[in-house]
Amino acid sequence: MVTIGMNYHTLPGKQAEFIEKFCAVMTALDGAAGHEESNLFQDVNDDASFLIVSNWSEHEAFQTFIQSDAFGEVTSFGKENLLSERPQHRVYKS
């Protein structure tokens, strides 16, 4: 198993829309091979800061998903409309 931590910082006032888009990504994740679970966390000290923690059966399954058209469409929209900076991802292997 591999756990991916994905850190995002939204533009001011875009928090609710970011959460809405995360829910759309969750729908796509439900059918993704190797996806086990994902959760969204919001920083209590900075409400524009989010962390998505995602568990996958293997790193290759995650790589396949982030190269998919569905993920590309959502992330392109986020970069252009929701995020204040480039997301930062970290891989934790067990």
**What one-character-per-residue DSSP string does 49-80 give?**
EEEEEEEESSHHHHHHHHTSHHHHHHHHHHHH
| Tokens coding 11 | 């533009």
Provide the residue count of the chain. Answer: 94
- Tell me the pairing of strands 49-56 and 35-42: antiparallel
Domain boundaries, the chain: 2-93
CB atoms within 10 A of CB 59: 14
pLDDT at 77: 61
2-93 maps to CATH 3.30.70.100: yes
Q: What's the whole-model pTM score? A: 0.85
Kindly report, residue by residue over 63-91, the tens digit of the pLDDT: 998 888 877 776 766 667 899 998 898 99
